[in-house]
Structure 1
């Protein structure tokens, strides 16, 4: 039996979205890996399953291409919010997020960043604003949890860092018990950051919403940016801002690529 899905993306970060609010849909790791394969499946950075929620308008389950499950995905949250009409509450493993329509697309209140070493989590206690660790030329990063664990390196030129090789090495380092997303950032000025991201379980992606939020939070903590900034990723720009309550909002574009069916 064919199962319907939507292919959507936010700033090039692309998703295969399945609606399981009426009929349950199992997504074992082998099935996720097959569907996410860009040569033999649909192909996507993450596979999303919309499920019923007793606490919000929908529960969003997020699967990485390697079959692992993620706690949050900002760009996917904007896509699901658009499907629900823009204004919505969306429950994830990382918490409940609130969405609203915006001139530039959809705005998500991503909640507050967490900086405690045990909240990231790290393997042992250390200063998460200026970690005394290094991998090759990448050194003294910050660590932030935005529903997912992130490590952020501030460098002179993000484009020249060999993230294809350093990304998987850092992701799987034993200092990160749950693995980690790797962000390479260049602060262009106090309202503009250039960013590249190696996503845990997915690899290099054109954009990462939680990565943009984590990078902004780390930059604010170091006093590098003002209370809002444009984060420029390979797939496009996201607007990240500090909210009145100390949280972080993310605004960015949403696009539907196509509707399809697949035989599970």
Structure 2
């Protein structure tokens, strides 16, 4: 959660403590799915209650946990949750760093079935190589709103955060246009395929398109169309070929 929200709703609480709230609440939700349950904890307290109607899935729906630090990976694996992670705006090497945390958590829980591993990046797919400027511009401007809330270094008026100056943000290298173009999932279909191969090589099962960074709606639709029509078929064809080779005994 953003530091802005903690300062507004729970003064004195640092955002790093937010993981404690999640770790206490998620098992409580699972117990609420199972039947009547009352909770007395460090962060949460509520009288006997349950969910109605009950989940159709045995044990409840599969939970996805957003994780970047090793402790959250380990905890999520321990409760049988799937993992969603993000390299943020960091270089491609961060994909491997996150994958290493995931693999260690899997190895540390040999009795737990390997969960799904998903990664998210801001994504924009376009026709021409030179069309990258608009996606990068929107990503940089979105970051100014994001840093405001994350660091609580600006104001919020009428529900909209102020766009803080780049001089105020941490990790300013992440706002270098060339770095953004290279690190994020921005590119033509062929460029995006090449970038996705890094995720595949790291053992990522699913990719989540991050489109919510003030990208114009028409560009979001175009990204979805190009991703569906020109990126996904590449991986679908490879999957078919792999299955055919396996069926042939290779």
TM > 0.5: no
The structure richer in helix per residue is 2
Higher relative contact order (CA 8 A, sep 6+): 1
Higher strand share: 1
